C-alpha cells in the first residue's frame, strides 16, 4: 500500500510528517492492505494560520483494487486531531464497503446447505 501526502494552505510538508502518516496508516489499515493500492492524504489549514477552532482539514482517499475510491474528510483543531479523526472515518467506511462485499460474495459452504450436517 502506497501512501502519498499532499499539503496546502499553510501546512508545511516535511519528510517526518510523511513518514509518520505512512506508518500510522499502514498500521491502522493493515487488515485491508490486500484491497488498498494507495491512500492519498491531503492536509489543509483553511484559515491559513489565522487561528480558530477546527480550521485544519484532512481528506483521505483510499484507492481500492477494482472498486471506486473511498473518500473521507475530517476537521480538527490541529493536524494530529484531524488526521486521526479522518483515519477513524476511513476505517469505518472501509469496514462498511468491504464488509458488505464480503457478505454478498462468499464462496464457502455452510452447514445450512447440508441438512445431514445439522443432525
**Cell 484491497 identifies what position?**
35
φ/ψ bin of 98: left (φ > 0), alpha (ψ from -120 to 50), beta (otherwise): alpha
Segment 28-45, tens digit of pLDDT: 999 898 899 999 999 888
Stated pTM of the model: 0.76
- Spatial neighbors of 92 by CB under 8 A, at least 6 apart, are none
Helices (H) then strands (E): counts for the chain: 3, 4
DSSP notation for 49-73: TS--TT-EEEEEEEEETTS--EEEE
Given pLDDT bands bounded at 50, 70 and 90, which one contains residue 47? confident
Higher pLDDT, 19 or 114: 19
Strand order across the beta sheet in which 70-76 lies: 2-8, 36-45, 56-64, 70-76
Q: Do the Cβ atoms of 4 and 41 come closer than 8 Å?
A: yes
Residue 3's DSSP bridge partners are: 39
Higher pLDDT, 45 or 58: 58
Amino acid at each position: 500500500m502506497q501512501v502519498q501526502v499532499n499539503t496546502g494552505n499553510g501546512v508545511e510538508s516535511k519528510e517526518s510528517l510523511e513518514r509518520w502518516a505512512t506508518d500510522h496508516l499502514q498500521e491502522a489499515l493493515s487488515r485491508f492492505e490486500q484491497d488498498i493500492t494507495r491512500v492519498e492524504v491531503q492536509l489543509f489549514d483553511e484559515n491559513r494560520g489565522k487561528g480558530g477552532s477546527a480550521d485544519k482539514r484532512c481528506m483521505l482517499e483510499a484507492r481500492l483494487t477494482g472498486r471506486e475510491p473511498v473518500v473521507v474528510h475530517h476537521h480538527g483543531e490541529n493536524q494530529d486531531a484531524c488526521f486521526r479523526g479522518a483515519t477513524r472515518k476511513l476505517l469505518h467506511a472501509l469496514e462498511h464497503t468491504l464488509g458488505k462485499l464480503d457478505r454478498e460474495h462468499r464462496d464457502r459452504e455452510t452447514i445450512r446447505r447440508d441438512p445431514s450436517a445439522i443432525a
